[in-house]
Structure 1
Amino acid sequence: MAEELTKKPFVLDVDGTFLRTDILFECFWAGLGRDPIRTLKTSLAHFRDPARLKAELARIAALRTDLLPVKADVLEVARAAQAEGREVVLASASDHSVVAQLAAQHGLSEHVFASDGRTNLKGVRKAEVLVQAYGEGGFHYAGNAPVDRAVWDHADAALVVGDPRSAKALEAQGKPVTQIDGGWRMKDVLKSFRPHQWVKNVLLFVPMIAGHAFDLNTFILAILGVISFSAAASSIYLVNDLLDLEADRLHVKKCKRPFASGAVPIQVGMVSFFVLAAIALGIAAYLGGAFFGVVSFYMALSLAYSLKLKRMRWVDIAVLASLYTLRVVAGAAATGIPVSGYLLVFIFPVFLALGCVKRLTELTLATSDERLPGRGYGRPDRPDLLNVASLGVVASLVAFFLYSFTEQALSLYKTQWLMWVAGLPLAWWMIRMVRLGWYGKQDYDPIVFAMKDKRGIGLMLMTISIMFYAAGLWQEWFGVG
């Protein structure tokens, strides 16, 4: 009798149990990346028909199921069951085509239970199908959510993943229960916001610094602008990560991101997006129409970049440069300090060069000659990227030099020739960034690298210090000179 019990099939739920993700949401975001219009139309048309929705999205998405993150503890239990000679079967509310492919890739039973475009195999319906196939108490079942109670009630034993309440209730019924930890941590959610990227928003202080407006009110307005832009940027990072799940899983480092690794459910990311977007736009509305317009345009352009533009060679770099330049425009809109056209002409080529550096670094650190996943660049593009980066450096330095002759510069900086001196460490910094990118000796994000690079920070501080001296600010503040 004991041997008969151990031979009972081990039935695994898929979403959140066998996998650290949900196939429906995987298909939705993969579909948005491949064909956003068709995906949105399909989602709206079949929103009330889950089985049909799952089948249609599966056709659009064509998931790489071999890349989907698996719960290691559950897989270990499944392998142990197979070693005992038991059949390990997947039973899921996800579409049959995806579940069957997943089972085949992991060497599980070819006999799978799943939604078929007409029936949504979930809860009571799943229980009915399994009882019909194996009989009452004729199988063991692994699940992760309260909806699985309908199945556990008919199973001989239960494996409960991350649902302690259901485990406690089943134990009270006298059901044999094995528990495995599940769920997600707020720490990982915060990590998905990429808070280290918020450092880029110091660019909102550029108009304040360039205009020498160091009063408290201006500083507070700039801080509010930074908070708004940080929330806006994080909301788009979430969307970008959800659209890039497959590409990130193929990347040597990005595969560890919260959504790609399955540490945070996709649904949590979607809710977080709406919360952050609301915070960003709420603060933006408080700061005025101009700033609200800039933040809205930034978010729209960022979404377009995530959906399409980042896959277009050269266009992606121009958009990246534009997104950085918008931060300077946003700083002007938040504080009410007018920004010089020369400043924007200087800023844009700087970030155009850094966008090239970003791609150069990725290509240099790539492990093969294939094009970057989700991007249009391969190693043969490295010389062209270096040339464009060099042009960006030259253009920005020319703009900086010409600015020194404008009325605004002459009114702000009393010693013109010191501005030319300030251009030397600035040029050194930019050339060094390009060189490090060419040799793959920096981070995948040059802005984040620049904020941690001690030599680079030293060069930038030299530039700012010389410019402050040229403006007479050191003399005014500290009586120097």
Structure 2
Amino acid sequence: MAEVKPLVLDVDGTFLRTDMLYECFWAGLGKHPIKTLKTAMRYFTRPAKLKSALLEIADIRTDLLPVNQEMKALANKSIAVGRDVVLASASDQQLVARLASDHGLSTRVFASDGETNLKGKAKAKALVDAYGEAGFDYAGDNKADRAIWEHAENALVVGHHDAIVAKLSAMGKTVTEYPNRLHITDLFRAIRPHQWVKNILLLLPMIAAHSFRLDNLFMVLLGMVSFSAAASSIYVVNDLLDLEADRLHPTKCRRPFAQGTVPISVGMGMLVVLGVLAIGLGALLGPAFLAVVVVYIILSLAYSLRLKRMRWVDIAALAGLYTLRVVAGAAASKVDASSFMLIFIFPVFITLGCVKRLTELSLTTTDDNLPGRGYGRQDRGDLLNIAGLGMFFALLIFFLYSFSEQARTLYPSQWVLWIALVPIAAWLFRMVRLGYFGKQDYDPIVFAMKDKRGVGLLLLTLSLMFYAAGLFHQWFGI
């Protein structure tokens, strides 16, 4: 009986739907950003050493890495008939061995060792030395794998490599293709377009100043596009930094980068394009707006890299990011943002930041701290207290604003502003209550735009303010 030849599987992009080098790089950025960047620059031309050095900075959980289910099924089927399934990868040996153990594959692995980068011809030589010419079948996904396919008996090609498939077939190789498509819907999900609704906050200065000119509106809309691009670039960064935490999360595990439906390398290209778009539009809108965008990006990066893991500081940073959108709206429309308005909205966003954490804690299934965050269920009471203080100060500042010179000018019917405090308080209370009992999604601003009762309260507030300003009489004669 002839000996069954082993099935050799490449790892990155073949057995896995991700790349372990990029996984280690982003895990390192999340834990030790400066050290990781220095290491990447130092060993950029020595990939084998780079991989082992990054692993020393930040280890990754191989059991959480997304698997190509077609390759996994093939591996299981091969093992069931007594075939040896071996991993061969340019990734670091420690990770490859651990991955093989996680999935019950052969303990014999071929991988980079810190000196030799086992890729292309180097991998082909190692496999031929071990199994002989045409002594194995090989599955890969990269152009560099052509050097291995040429020495394998059968070639399993993951992805679209028509030219290589044609050449292998001409050599008499049996080629099996496994298409691995990148779907536009996954790319779209990766930039979280539903989050762009937050940029409606840029309209607040125009509304508060009763400046409804079309040219101002056009500039604010351009500003919203700029902020949407900036925010999406940061969401990509955030998702890449949070890969492990997201995979442990009950719903965030379905995000494209966590699932591996969008490669990390593609995400890195996306964040550069989005960042350039944000800065370009910012420059078009003037130095003041550009400055706000740059500050937003810097604060967002600081939040993603460090601040989100710091108790209470993360909530203040979130409130600051929301407030910057209002400042950006003023810069884009050339409308002076009232200091009272900025002082009012900051505690509102402090409250909503607490709501975000309360929701996450209410929906978690364990008593452990939230992955990548500094809060556990024991903090719900403190978060509720801070949210209550945010509500109180927001309402107090709004009340004090009604006595300001600007308010008397813009809102002649002062008593109507006092009535507007009721729906504002009701909306804030509703948001806190729903967050505390876990009855909203993980982002309070996005939830607020979909919550019909909450939207009703916000529209009632806006109507009362317009009435107090005399705009209804001006527009409709009432």
Please give the TM-score of this superposition, normalised by the length of structure 2.
0.99
Q: Which residue does the alignment assign to 1:296?
A: 294
1:136 and 2:133 aligned = yes
1:90 to 83, 87, 91: 87
1:197 to 181, 195, 216: 195
- Aligned pairs (5 A) from 1:111-260: 111-165=108-162, 166-260=164-258
CA distance in 2, matches of 1:167, 1:320: 50
CA distance in 2, matches of 1:133, 1:61: 32
How far has the Cα of 1:172 moved from its partner?
Answer: 3.2
1:12 and 2:9 aligned = yes
Q: Which residue does the alignment assign to 1:386?
A: 384
How far has the Cα of 1:168 moved from its partner?
Answer: 3.6
How far has the Cα of 1:190 moved from its partner?
Answer: 1.4
CA distance in 2, matches of 1:32, 1:301: 16
CA distance in 2, matches of 1:305, 1:169: 49
Q: Which residue does the alignment assign to 1:398?
A: 396
2:312 to 292, 314, 322: 314
Are 1:90 and 1:103, in contact at CA under 8 Å, matched by a contact in 2? yes
CA distance in 1, matches of 2:94, 2:27: 16
The percentage of aligned residue pairs carrying the same residue is 63
Contiguous gaps of at least 5 residues in structure 2: none
SS in 2 for 1:57: helix
Q: Which residue does the alignment assign to 2:458?
A: 460
How far has the Cα of 1:407 moved from its partner?
Answer: 0.8
Amino acid at match of 2:226: S
Amino acid at match of 2:410: L
For residues 48-81 of structure 1, give each alpha carbon's deviation from its aligned partner in whole angstroms, at most 9, with x where no partner exists.
1111101101111211000000011100001111
CA distance in 2, matches of 1:442, 1:241: 21
Q: Which residue does the alignment assign to 1:420?
A: 418
How far has the Cα of 1:476 moved from its partner?
Answer: 1.1
For residues 387-440 of structure 1, give each alpha carbon's deviation from its aligned partner in whole angstroms, at most 9, with x where no partner exists.
000000010001111111111111111211001111111110000000001111
1:103 and 2:119 aligned = no
CA distance in 2, matches of 1:311, 1:328: 25
CA distance in 1, matches of 2:177, 2:365: 40
1:74 and 2:71 aligned = yes
CA distance in 2, matches of 1:176, 1:423: 74
For residues 83-108 of structure 1, give each alpha carbon's deviation from its aligned partner in whole angstroms, at most 9, with x where no partner exists.
11111100000111111111111111
How far has the Cα of 1:145 moved from its partner?
Answer: 1.6
For residues 187-207 of structure 1, give each alpha carbon's deviation from its aligned partner in whole angstroms, at most 9, with x where no partner exists.
211111100000000000000
CA distance in 2, matches of 1:158, 1:64: 30
CA distance in 2, matches of 1:358, 1:473: 35
- Alignment size in residue pairs: 477
CA distance in 2, matches of 1:19, 1:191: 21
Amino acid at match of 1:132: D
Amino acid at match of 1:158: A
- Aligned pairs (5 A) from 1:336-375: 336-375=334-373
Are 1:139 and 1:157, in contact at CA under 8 Å, matched by a contact in 2? yes
Q: Which residue does the alignment assign to 1:326?
A: 324
SS in 2 for 1:160: strand
Amino acid at match of 1:16: G
CA distance in 1, matches of 2:426, 2:105: 58
CA distance in 2, matches of 1:267, 1:188: 14
How far has the Cα of 1:160 moved from its partner?
Answer: 1.1
CA distance in 1, matches of 2:98, 2:467: 67
CA distance in 2, matches of 1:184, 1:59: 32
Are 1:239 and 1:306, in contact at CA under 8 Å, matched by a contact in 2? yes
Amino acid at match of 2:120: G
Are 1:146 and 1:163, in contact at CA under 8 Å, matched by a contact in 2? no
Amino acid at match of 2:43: H
Please give the TM-score of this superposition, normalised by the length of structure 1.
0.98
For residues 32-55 of structure 1, give each alpha carbon's deviation from its aligned partner in whole angstroms, at most 9, with x where no partner exists.
011111101100000011111011
How far has the Cα of 1:171 moved from its partner?
Answer: 2.6
SS in 2 for 1:48: coil
SS in 2 for 1:290: helix
Amino acid at match of 2:293: V
Q: Which residue does the alignment assign to 1:65?
A: 62
How far has the Cα of 1:183 moved from its partner?
Answer: 3.4
Q: Which residue does the alignment assign to 1:275?
A: 273
Q: Which residue does the alignment assign to 2:448?
A: 450
How far has the Cα of 1:163 moved from its partner?
Answer: 2.5
Are 1:145 and 1:163, in contact at CA under 8 Å, matched by a contact in 2? no
1:38 and 2:30 aligned = no
SS in 1 for 2:431: helix
SS in 1 for 2:86: strand
Amino acid at match of 2:359: T
How far has the Cα of 1:181 moved from its partner?
Answer: 2.0
Amino acid at match of 1:170: L
CA distance in 2, matches of 1:257, 1:163: 24
* RMSD (CA atoms): 0.9
Higher mean displacement: 160-169 or 30-39? 160-169
Q: After TM superposition, which residue ranges in structure 1, 4 or more long, deviate above 6 angstroms?
A: none
Amino acid at match of 1:322: G
CA distance in 2, matches of 1:369, 1:378: 6
Amino acid at match of 1:26: E
How far has the Cα of 1:162 moved from its partner?
Answer: 1.1
CA distance in 1, matches of 2:286, 2:327: 14
Contiguous gaps of at least 5 residues in structure 1: none
How far has the Cα of 1:477 moved from its partner?
Answer: 1.3
How far has the Cα of 1:179 moved from its partner?
Answer: 1.7
Are 1:188 and 1:263, in contact at CA under 8 Å, matched by a contact in 2? yes
